[in-house]
Every structure is written in structure tokens, then in C-alpha cells.
Amino acid sequence: NQQGCLIYRDSQEVEVLPIPTSAFTLPTQVCTGSPAVVTFAGFDPTGNSIYSWEFGSATQLSGSNQGPIELVWDDPGTQTVSLQVDASGCLSEITSATIEVFLTPSAEVDVPDASCESEPIEVVYTGTASAGANYDWNFVDAIAPAVPTGPGPHIISFDDFGPRTLELTVSENGCDASASFPITINQPPVAEIGEVQDQCLNSNEFNFFYDGPNTNLSQLIWDFGDGNGSTEQSPTHVYATSGQKIV
């Protein structure tokens, strides 16, 4: 006391809050269109801190706060992810990490929809991968180079008709794409003329017709051996002169 006045002492507890840390895990590389997972790996003293993430041009597919958070990038290049943690007003340092995003190659091939038995077919890659990428071709049942490599062009053929499928997997920088390409191999047409009987000049009218095995013929070209012809399926022709004619 002082001069008969009492002095009271007061006390108050205060807490010195620890500073959070903002470390996180992130893959070093990923392919465009494929998810990358980022996960908080730092120190959160409260368990309910505010997580301020910066994902740049990434699309966030799922997750929040500590994660795991799935991200996807559409464009290749070096991308940066950053995080700062706010624990009751105490801010962590900003942690940043980079991830290299590689372009996922496209599996595109220039190949005809149809060809004929035993005819050469050119197959060439037309996608986005470089010439140095890995090309795994599968020319099922085709007569082809023993070990086809590179983007081509490759020359193949088929010794039997019917539906066929070509397959390709292209890989570059750990990114790959696969596709299959149908092709129809048609049977070569056989030119067979149905048998007709000889006729007299004054009353001749020959009915010619195709008698081969093919059913999907796109065109018939007839030559009647007298300077005339037709493109009809089953033409009729009258000869003006007698003699042997080669049709």
C-alpha cells in the first residue's frame, strides 16, 4: 500500500501461438488431361486453419483445405502451385513448387477406310507427337515390316478380305495415347460373263449378265467387241454384222 491505499495486483494468461508451415507434396511432372494430386504436408497448430492455395491455370477436380486435391492442366509447360496457411491470424511462409506438364500425344493416323486384297496400303501417323516418340504399331494379320517403328509412312497389305483393325500406342515424356482404326479389305472383283447362246443376225438380241462371285460391284464396263459398250449391270445388245465377237 501507499499512504494507507491498497494496491491490487492483476494477472492475465496469454498464449503465444506457433507459426504454421505450408509444405505440401506435388508430383514433379504430369500429362495434360491427367490428374495430379497435391497434399498438405506442413504443420497446422489449430486443425482448422485457412488454406490459401494458388493453382495457376489448373482446373481443380476435387478436394479442398489439406487435400488431397486433384488438379488437371490442359496446356503443357512449367506450372506453379503455392500455399499459405493462416492459423488464427498467424501466417506461414508462402511455399511454392513447380510441376512440368507434358503434352499428351494424340493417336491419329492417316489410313483409308477400305482397300483391296493384296493392294499396298500406306499408314502414317498424323498426331501431335514428335518423330522421336515411341510408336507401338500393331498391324493385326497384315503383311508389314517386321518391326515397324517411327511415325511412318509404313506400307502394309492383307492377303485375305474382310474387316481388319490397325492399332497404335504412341508415348512421349511418359504420356501416351492409344487408338484403333478399322479398315475393310475388299475381295478383288472377278470378271465373269454369264453364258449366252449364239444367235442369228436377223433376230439377234443378246442379254449379257455378270456371273462372278462379287456382290458389291461399283461399276461394270462392257465392251461388245464391235465398238459399242455399256456400263449397265445386265445390258442388252444387238449386233449389226455377223461374225465372231469378243465381249
Higher pLDDT, 217 or 246: 246
Dist. CA 183–CA 202, nearest whole Å: 52
Whole-number pLDDT of residue 143:
87
Per the CB < 8 A criterion, the answer to whether 191 and 212 are in contact is yes
Whole-number pLDDT of residue 4:
67
Residue 2 has pLDDT above 70, yes or no: no
Residue 114 has pLDDT above 70, yes or no: yes
Residue 214 has pLDDT above 80, yes or no: no
Whole-number pLDDT of residue 12:
87
C-alpha cell belonging to residue 152: 511412318
CA 120 to chain centre: 25
Tens of pLDDT, residue by residue over 17-72, are: 899 999 999 999 999 999 999 999 999 999 889 999 999 999 999 999 999 999 99
Whole-number pLDDT of residue 1:
52
- Going 179 to 181 to 182 to 188, the CA torsion angle's sign is negative
- Mean pLDDT, residues 185-213: 86
pTM of the model: 0.73
State the alpha helices, DSSP H only, in the chain: none
